[in-house]
Amino acid sequence: MPDTRLAVLFWALGVWLGYPLADPIVGLLITLAILRIVWESGKSIFTRMLDRVDPEVTGEIRHAVSHTPGVRDISEVRVRWLGHRLHAELNVAVDPGLSVESGHEIVKEVRHHLLHQLRYLSNATIHVDPANASGGEYHRVPEHEHDELPAHFH
């Protein structure tokens, strides 16, 4: 709040020097500073209510996961706010020749990496795909519809 402190200094100086307009002008400047703070805070809260997450967060998640041994691809990353913490959902691809147990171990390491490196994450749900069937086109079920809505992924 250095803006308001400086305004108060000018107000005190103006009043001391006998300028009668110093009081309303400084009051207006302080009001504008408060309105700016309210606007920025309100915008931040509103975008969080709509689950907006900074794009840099998705990049940080991709970066952390890409350095995990055994991960061949990251096809989807979804992040949303849950209260004051973030929750991530992602799809990673591993070698298709691995056992289920080996794929599970890689995913456990991915989750550990994420929660250790990105402290703002509260949880991460990770779906594992074989590298030869990674991406949205492999999860599409065209004949699956709900209430006349378009087909969607699973």
pLDDT digits (tens, 9 = 90+) for 59-99: 888 998 988 999 998 988 888 887 778 889 999 999 999 99
CB 1 within 8 A of CB 33: yes
147, pLDDT greater than 70:
no
Give the tokens for residue 2.
Answer: 């250095």
Q: Is the pTM of this model over 0.75?
A: no
- Mean pLDDT, range 46-63, rounded to an integer: 78
Yes or no: say if 74 and 91 are a contact pair by the CB < 8 Å rule.
yes
Contacts of 153 (CB under 8 A, 6+ apart): 136, 139, 140, 141
